[in-house]
Amino acid sequence: MGHKTSPFAFRLGFLSLWPFEWCSNNYSEVSSKNILIFNYLKRILYENNIILGDFAVSFKFGKVFVNLTYYQLEIKNLSYKSKQVGLQSSFPLYYRKKKHYYQKGTIWEEIHSFLQYEYNITVDLKFYNRLNIFDHVNFISGYLRFKIESSFFSKIYLIQLCNEFNMLNNLIIYSGFYKSNCFVLQGLKILCFGRLIGLQNKISVVEHIASGPMPLQSKNQLILSSFETANTKHGLCGIKVYLYYKCLGE
C-alpha cells in the first residue's frame, strides 16, 4: 500500500522540494518557532523598506546558521503624504547574490540580537541583497503592498511588473540556498482584490495580470506563491502572486 498524497501539496509541487533543515528532532516546536521568527523579521524589515525573501535555518557545529535574502525598495521623493517607490534595475543579474555582514548601529544588529535571544545559542547571520524583484515571490507581493499602502492602487503597477518580467526572457533561475538550480522562471500571475478604486461605497473588484504559462499540475515543476494584505483607509486589499518555474530537464 502506498502512502496517501495531499492533492494540494502535489498540485503546488511541495512534495518535490523540501528546503528546510530543522535544528532538532522536535519538529512541531522548532517549526512554530521558525514561523514566529520569520513573521517578526518580515514585519521589522518591511518597516525599514526592506522585503524579506528566503529564510533558511540550520544547526551545525553547535551553532545556528541563519541565511536570508532581501530586496531593498528604492524610495523616491519621500514625503509625509506618499512614498514613490521604483523598481530596481534587473541587470546585471550576476550581482544579485551579493552577501553582506551586519554592522553595528543598523537594523541587522538588532535582528542578530533578537535571533541570539530566541535561539539561546551562537547565531551566524548572513543576508544577501537581491537586485532583481523576480528573484523571490515575496519581493513582488511586498512591493505591491508598499505601493498600495503608501499611495493608491493602479493597474500601471501590474503592467510595469509584467513588462519587466517579459524583458527577463528566462534569465531567472530559482536557487535560494538549496542547490536547486534546475528551475527557470517561466510564468507570472498577480491578483489584487478589494476596494481598489478607493471609494467606500464601491464593491470589491479584482484586478489581475499574467504572463507566460501557469499550469495547474506541477509534479516536476515548481510553483511558488505569496499572499499579502495591504491596509488602506477604505479597508483591506489582498495580493496574491504566483511564479512558475520549469525544470531544465524537460
pLDDT tier, 198 (very low <50, low <70, confident <90, very high otherwise): low
Q: What is the pLDDT of residue 64?
A: 84
Span 109-124, mean pLDDT?
84
What domains lie within the chain, and their CATH numbers? Answer: 19-247 (3.30.1140.32)
The pLDDT > 90 percentage for the chain reads 10
Please enumerate, as own/partner, the contacts of 17-25 that have beta carbons within 8 Å and a separation of 24 or more.
17/178, 17/180, 17/222, 19/56, 19/176, 19/177, 19/178, 19/180, 20/56, 20/57, 21/56, 21/57, 21/58, 21/59, 22/57, 22/59, 23/57, 23/58, 23/59, 23/64, 23/119, 24/59
Span 223-247, mean pLDDT?
86
Q: What is the pLDDT of residue 241?
A: 93
Place of cell 528566462: 170
Q: What is the pLDDT of residue 37?
A: 86
Span 17-21, mean pLDDT?
47
Q: What is the pLDDT of residue 1?
A: 47
Positive or negative torsion for Cα 24, 29, 31, 35: negative
Which residue, 62, 27, 5, 10, is CA-closest to 219? 10
Q: What whole-number distance in Å separates Cα of residue 126 and Cα of residue 148?
A: 30
pLDDT at 177 over 80: no
Q: What is the pLDDT of residues 23-63, one digit of tens each?
A: 445 566 667 778 888 888 899 999 888 999 888 888 777 78
64 close to 112: Cβ distance less than 8 angstroms: no
Of residues 3 and 146, more confidently modeled: 146
Of residues 1 and 4, more confidently modeled: 4
pLDDT at 97 over 80: no
pLDDT tier, 138 (very low <50, low <70, confident <90, very high otherwise): very high
Q: What is the pLDDT of residue 67?
A: 87
